[in-house]
Amino acid sequence: MCGRFTLIHSVEALVEAFEIEEVLFTPSPSYNIPPGQVVPAVVCEGGVRKLVGLKWGLVPAWAEDPKIGNRMINARAETVASKPAFRDAFRKRRCIVPASGFYEWKRENSGKEPYYFYRPDGKPLGMAGIHERWVSPEGDELHTCAIITVDSLPPVSEVHGRMPLLLDGEELSLYLDPEAPLPRVARLLSSFTPPPLSCHRVSRAVNSPAVDAPVCIERV
């Protein structure tokens, strides 16, 4: 799963990396983003790429209780196109969640140890996601998202069995395009070329969402 990530790149860096044309949400730098927070996401609407804010934890439009989002932080690539909670969003409301890096935990003799994954070239990662709009009986809107996960590839597979679906370049553009043929988009779920990743072990300080500081990504 993907349950924690960082975003320390500037908005200007995100605009350049993801060819964003409209900035509707300005995120604050964070070294430890947990589920439930409003996170930045790139969406394509009317042919325009926009940076918006979405609460991490997807609430389907048909949900009676928005608390369902607490357990909908990830959508498995194997079922995102067919599972009732996700399939409509996958067809119509895809997004990219930018990240500077993400954490995964490895079971070791001393317990679960956190590792930090990031691009060695310093560029932001693009995590494939889906998003939804939920409206309460009172008319209040809630915009939410989930991050798609896949079976891990090296080097993540040495630490954990799942990782975010990471897209770049033409694959990222295809995924964001709402007019793209769905079969082509669906193929990305099992056939994609992730960017190179570096990793190192970090402090268990990251285990606490209350800790949001550079110590979270420092090598130990």
Evaluate whether 75 touches 150 at the Cβ level (below 8 Å). no
Strand 141-151 to 74-76 pairing: parallel
The verdict on whether 95 is a catalytic residue reads no
For residues 191 and 178, what is the distance between their CA atoms, to the nearest angstrom? 19
Instruction: State residue 83 phi and psi, 5-degree precision.
Output: -70, 130
CA separation (Å) from 165 to 109, 129, 160, 216? 29, 8, 14, 23
Tell me if 167 sits within 8 A of 154, measured CB to CB.
no
Cα 75 vs. chain centroid, distance in angstroms?
10
Catalytic one of 19, 21, 44, 104: 104
Known catalytic membership, residue 64: no
- Residues 6 or more apart from 104 whose CB is under 8 A from it? 2, 114, 115, 117, 156, 159, 160, 163
Report how far apart, in Å, the C-alpha atoms of 92 and of each of 133, 170, 177 are: 12, 19, 10
Is the Cβ–Cβ distance between 45 and 32 less than 8 Å?
no
Which phi and psi (to 5°) does residue 124 adopt?
-70, 155
Residue numbers annotated as active site: 2, 104
